[in-house]
Structure 1
Amino acid sequence: MDQNTIYEGKTLGLVAYLTLFGTLIAYFMNQDKRNPFTAFHIRQALGLGFLYVIIGFFISYFDSWMITYSFWIFFSVLFFYGFFGAITGKLNKIPLLGDFFQKAFKSREQ
């Protein structure tokens, strides 16, 4: 991937990590340009967002601040890891699940 593609896709790549609404905004804004850098970060952020909601649903049944804070810290680190990758222009996959997110959310046109 060349530097121009990365430069053009950085802004939407960063927006993708700002909640699930940011991911949707980046997705729809990237439909015309189809920037591969942005698409990579949209898939990573979408996977993190869905995983956050699913695991958060189950964590909410525990009445323990240690479990809740551990959950928040864990996902904060993962979102920061992806966000930092978008800032620096790198294609950092989320550990363990990054490949799955790329395959699961890849559109058929790409």
Structure 2
Amino acid sequence: MTSNSDISGKKLAAGICGILLGTLGIHKFVLGYNTEGLIMLLVSLLTCGLVAPVMGIIGLIEGIIYLTKSDEEFYRTYIASKKGWF
């Protein structure tokens, strides 16, 4: 298992990136979910930004969810179980 500081740092980075850069899926890349991050990035870019607000809302919601979970719950859900969406 990784240390609590590693989990807290990853949780904080993913949460902030989700809130600020959710449209681009950066928070997914931070967590190692490259497929999900690429989906969000490509949907935002290939629709010429038309669907970007939807991706931004998804990122905002996920960022808030990440930050409100305890470190243990975050680890179980997103690191150990690899839950990619919400």
TM superposition score normalised by structure 1 = 0.41
TM superposition score normalised by structure 2 = 0.49
Question: Which of these two proteins has the greater Rg computed from alpha carbons?
Answer: 1
